[in-house]
Chains A and B, each alone.
Chain A
């Protein structure tokens, strides 16, 4: 298994509070991604990173921010959590290059916003 961990694995928080999810990899891969999984939608890209301090938005980035200060860590922050952000969040990593390198996924974080 790829060395990807996510923390916390489960979190319940109240509307309006800030939340930070952490993704940690031991593979030294350049690319890191945050997706959210919701029933009927598959996984949708929130943000991604293509290097330290290099990040960009995905299709569902509103209400989320990210940071990557080290190769191994990619943080996802919900500045002010809303009920619509209740979801399962997955981190993924991919090696660099132009080939069809597959992405490897972490175990996920289940977030409930009450």
Chain B
């Protein structure tokens, strides 16, 4: 069975600072990995996905994530935070065949200070 751990339920950064949201996964087979963002009172929107084509994945809104197999990590970064980045971020993993349901981490709420 797969699992996802997101370190830090709350992260606060200043506007213009680096954003780093951590995600570690556990899987016995090569995983597909995703980052989703949720703005208040909305559904989840896909930021980016890892599909094994490239270890550095670029997503929307200037976010990117690097897959590191040796560290079983898929951390999300953005060089310069913007006020509009304030939201909750979820890392998710999907493995195997069949249902391909997502297993989510518990989420990290990003706060951006002016």
Q: Which residues of A contact B (CB under 8 A)?
A: 4, 31, 33, 35, 40-45, 48, 50, 56, 58, 90, 92, 94, 98-108
Contact present for B49 and A40 (CB under 8 Å): no
Contact present for A44 and B46 (CB under 8 Å): no
- A42: chain B residues at CB < 8 Å are 4, 90, 92, 104-107
Q: Once bound together, how far apart are the Cα atoms of A12 and B83, in whole Å?
A: 33
B50 — nearest CB in chain A belongs to which residue? A100
Q: Once bound together, how far apart are the Cα atoms of A107 and B42, in whole Å?
A: 5
Q: A31-B100, A33-B102 are in contact. List 14 more A-B contacts (CB 8 A).
A: A35-B104, A42-B90, A42-B92, A42-B106, A43-B92, A45-B102, A56-B99, A94-B100, A98-B97, A99-B51, A100-B49, A102-B34, A104-B46, A105-B36
Closest Cβ of chain A: how far from B76's Cβ, in Å?
Answer: 15
Interface membership of B17, Cβ < 8 A: no
Contact present for A106 and B49 (CB under 8 Å): no
Contacts of B64-114 to chain A: CB distance below 8 A: 90, 92, 94, 97-107
Q: Chain A contact residues: over half helix, strand or loop, or mixed?
A: strand
Closest Cβ of chain B: how far from A80's Cβ, in Å?
Answer: 26
Contact present for B101 and A90 (CB under 8 Å): no
Closest Cβ of chain A: how far from B32's Cβ, in Å?
Answer: 4
- B32: chain A residues at CB < 8 Å are 100
Closest Cβ of chain A: how far from B17's Cβ, in Å?
Answer: 25
Q: Once bound together, how far apart are the Cα atoms of A98 and B103, in whole Å?
A: 17
